[in-house]
Chains A and B, each alone.
Chain A
Amino acid sequence: MPHQQRYNNGSMTNNEAIERQRQYEMFQESLPKVNKILFQMILNEIIPLSVRIENQLTQGNEFQNDTKLDTLGDSSFDKASDLDNITKLKDLSINAKANSETHLGNISSPDDVLIYKLSQSVDENENKYNNILKRIRDIGIKIGTKLVNLLIFTNNINLNFKEMDLLLIMKFICRDVWKHVFGKQIDNLKTNHRGTFYLTDLEYPLLQSFCIETNTIPSQLNEEFILNKESKLVEPFLELPVGIIKGVLLSLGYPLDEVICLATFIDKPKERIKNSFPKGISFHVQITKSFLPQQQKQ
């Protein structure tokens, strides 16, 4: 993390601060825990869940269109995968197995089919696509607001919400929020000091286990095509962290309509590409309201 300075300096001597930091960390360690993989799977599962909800809600209204799409995905996964040039989002190895098995189980269509169909429906049904993105974002916002409550009532010496200006809030997101939810900090924070921030995460954790199933891609297609397709499939997954950022800002006094937050893919340094998702994520956060009174004074 490039920012050396913590939120709270002055008043305490270095040793005191280190000691309290240590106590805080020990306290955090002692809290009840659950498995991180399980938690991340639940976070990722929010996306297919949102698609499923939307499907179920619209089934009543637009009966014809939707059921057609649904039965296609459900009963004949193979047909769906033959459609044009296929890139399916794959969660490493298990899915091939999962697909063949869910035919037997017949409980619901597998996640990757839902996500695949979602990426198709961008063009076909913009309204529905946007509804789904909005739902994912809403869940993120709720998580974000509650998360702030959770983090405020810790004895973290580095947090002092009373004197927090926007920059400190963004730092709070980069360090504490990200660390709690995703287990790592944001790699880089840039700002123009006028309410625009760029948060860069080169290895956004929830995407790292994704990979594209290369044997379903016709070999003549070039890498760029694959990457584009892949990015499209992954886009909905970025709404969740966007929602979380907006939620945190909301509960710290920045209403949703005054905050613009967009996530885009960025290239990452070549040496970091290996064995992980090939793109980094940049979150562009902008506060549109005529701005913080505190900062205007400066």
Chain B
Amino acid sequence: MSKSRSSSLSTHAANLSSKTGANQSKFFKTFGDDIWKNKIEKVNAELFIMTYGVIVQQLCQDFNNDYMKINENLFSMGYNIGVRLIEDFLARTALPRCPNMIMTSEVITKVAFKVFLNITPVVDNWSSNKDTFSLILVENPLAEFVDLPHDAKKQLWYSNIICGVLKGALEMVQLDCDIGFVSDVLRGDASTEIRVKLNKILKDEIPLGED
């Protein structure tokens, strides 16, 4: 039942580029909600939070609180997840290629974040040429119950894995982007903000051994 419904949603998605902004945004909202409700196996968020906490803790211990290195490692961990996660995402959503970054941002927030973390960040701060935007994480399941020690507040991007995941996933759909945190409530900032900047659109490459 849910299968036929989602396939009709996907055909619907194919015609999306013709839609106007408000309509499109509404569509992705229901689309993402629907997938989250019907097609996703879930685990307890606390378990997830705790596991991530253990990983960060282990990194702090191993690198003796060298937060630059920790940020880097969280990022590359995310990157490796991102390049695989996109496969699952595309298989589940069957969304077409996004014609512009505006639609990309809609898909990232209303579908991708919804489907994987059950949150919907707010898109904001568009650059004038529409290739750079910010994701404001109103909620952040990774950082729930987290309190950083004083010295970490200046340097550690606790949820840096998210940037890595975005980087890896977007690269797999030919979008070469710079992604990084600019502020985090854990550091005492007013909001948690990730900046996404499109560098270039990569050429389609067919991997070896695949026709």
Q: From residue A5, how far is it (CB to closest CB) to chain B in Å? A: 25
**Which residues of the partner chain B approach A28 to less than 8 Å between Cβ atoms?**
44
Q: A101-B172, A107-B76, A150-B50 are in contact. Are A49 and B55 (CB under 8 A)?
A: yes
B151 interfacial contact with A, CB 8 Å: no
Enumerate A23-47 residues with CB–CB distance to B below 8 Å.
28, 31-39, 41-43, 45-46
CA distance A65 to B139 in the complex (A): 45
A33:B172 contact, CB within 8 angstroms:
no
A183:B41 contact, CB within 8 angstroms:
yes
**Which residues of the partner chain A approach B81 to less than 8 Å between Cβ atoms?**
38, 41-42, 45
Across the two chains, which residue of chain B brings its CB closest to A99? B207
Number of A residues whose C-beta is below 8 Å from B?
51
B54:A38 contact, CB within 8 angstroms:
no
B59 interfacial contact with A, CB 8 Å: yes
B87 interfacial contact with A, CB 8 Å: yes
Q: From residue A115, how far is it (CB to closest CB) to chain B in Å? A: 11
B75:A100 contact, CB within 8 angstroms:
no
B117:A94 contact, CB within 8 angstroms:
no
A48 interfacial contact with B, CB 8 Å: yes
Chain B 48-69: CB-based contact to A (< 8 A → 1; otherwise 0) = 1011111101110011000001
**Which residues of the partner chain B approach A97 to less than 8 Å between Cβ atoms?**
83, 172, 207, 210
Q: From residue B140, how far is it (CB to closest CB) to chain A in Å? A: 12
B58:A142 contact, CB within 8 angstroms:
yes
Q: A35-B116, A36-B40, A53-B59 are in contact. Are A96 and B47 (CB under 8 A)?
A: no
A215 interfacial contact with B, CB 8 Å: yes
Chain B 24-54: CB-based contact to A (< 8 A → 1; otherwise 0) = 0000000000000000111111111011111
Across the two chains, which residue of chain A brings its CB closest to B86? A94
B69:A56 contact, CB within 8 angstroms:
yes
> Which one of A52, A99, A183 contacts B73 once the chains associate, using CB atoms below 8 Å?
A52
> Which one of A91, A135, A181 contacts B62 once the chains associate, using CB atoms below 8 Å?
A135
Residues of chain A touching chain B, judged by Cβ–Cβ distance below 8 Å, are: 28, 31-39, 41-43, 45-46, 48-49, 52-53, 56-57, 91-102, 104-105, 107-108, 110-111, 135, 138-139, 142-143, 146-147, 150, 180-181, 183, 215
* Known contacts A32-B46, A108-B76, then 17 further A-B pairs from the complex at CB < 8 Å, ordered by chain A residue: A31-B44, A31-B45, A33-B42, A33-B45, A34-B45, A35-B42, A35-B43, A39-B43, A39-B51, A94-B86, A97-B172, A105-B167, A105-B171, A110-B83, A142-B58, A146-B50, A183-B41
6 A-B residue pairs with Cβ-Cβ distance under 8 Å, sorted by A, are A35-B41, A36-B41, A42-B51, A42-B52, A48-B77, A52-B76
Q: 3 nearest interchain CB pairs?
A: A33-B42, A32-B45, A108-B76
